[in-house]
């Protein structure tokens, strides 16, 4: 159970919590290793920096998920992974600080039983598209059909008022964000970043990387003139055909990330 509903000024995005009495079931080692690899890839691809996080649903307990302790993604190892319930309660934190925004993950898993992995980031090209009225992130090329014809933007003021720190720091805000994933696999967060979901770690990582690229291309194209976006039919066809190839970029990205670490 959380020891405090507030976060400290000295460490504003981390919190100390007591472990819940809920029991743990060991996940497959491959799942945890893949989650660690995903953290490294997302950093290497510039989707996350010192901030941002990726989680995965427990492969043996769908009402639990795994997320690293509060730390920079590039430094995550298997020893840093913590198990959580869908209430955002830690099962085995053992005194380690956890991400304040774990409620992004817990409430999406609760609302979307089909989701297996969640990525939250503050990638550079996404943020501008979250704050300009009348402009939406839309699928602009075939690698990002999942973006669709207009990614919704979560406005935290509607759920938390006009004096929040923009962080999803409790279940109420997490639930409000999760509602935007009805029919969407990416949601922008005004002045904050974005959250992407997938049916696997590899798909979620693929989408996080190509959402950032799509945003970059869209910003560049908008400076040149009127932009031609993908139609709904084109977007759906691209999702069906292109996303079946997620293993190809995953293998390359992982090789690159590990080479740079050595």
Active site residues: 101
- Report residue 121 as tokens: 């980031």
In contact, 215 and 136? CB cutoff 8 Å: no
Q: Which two tokens stand for residue 153?
A: 């933007």
* 71-89: burial string, b at 16+ Cβ within 10 Å, e else: bebbebeeebbbbbbbbbb
With tokens 């639930």, the residue in question is 175
Give Cα 24 to chain centroid, integer Å: 24
Contacts of 257 (CB under 8 A, 6+ apart): 37, 40, 41, 43, 44, 45
Separation of alpha carbons 188 and 126, rounded Å = 7
Please, are residues 34 and 56 in contact by the beta-carbon 8 Å criterion? yes
């Amino acid at each position: 159970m959380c020891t405090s509903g507030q976060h400290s000024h000295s460490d504003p995005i981390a919190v100390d919590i007591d472990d819940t009495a809920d029991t743990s079931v060991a996940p497959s080692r491959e799942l945890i290793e893949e989650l660690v690899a995903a953290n490294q890839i997302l950093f290497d691809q510039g989707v996350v920096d010192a901030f941002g996080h990726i989680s995965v649903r427990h492969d043996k307990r769908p009402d639990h998920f795994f997320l690293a302790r509060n730390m920079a993604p590039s430094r995550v190892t298997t020893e840093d992974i913590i198990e959580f319930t869908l209430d955002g309660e830690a099962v085995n934190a053992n005194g380690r600080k956890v991400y304040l925004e774990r409620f992004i993950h817990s409430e999406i898993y609760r609302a979307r039983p089909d989701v297996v992995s969640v990525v939250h980031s503050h990638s550079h090209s996404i943020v501008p598209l979250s704050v300009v009225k009348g402009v939406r992130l839309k699928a602009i090329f075939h690698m990002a059909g999942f973006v669709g014809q207009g990614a919704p933007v979560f406005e935290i003021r509607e759920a938390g008022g006009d004096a929040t720190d923009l962080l999803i720091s409790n279940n109420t805000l997490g639930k409000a964000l999760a509602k935007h994933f009805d029919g969407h696999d990416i949601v922008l967060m005004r002045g904050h970043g974005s959250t992407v979901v997938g049916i696997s770690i590899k798909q979620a990582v693929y989408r996080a990387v190509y959402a950032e690229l799509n945003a970059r291309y869209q910003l560049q194209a908008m400076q040149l003139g009127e932009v031609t976006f993908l139609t709904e039919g084109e977007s759906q066809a691209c999702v069906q055909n292109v996303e079946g190839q997620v293993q190809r970029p995953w293998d390359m990205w992982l090789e690159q990330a590990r080479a740079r670490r050595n």
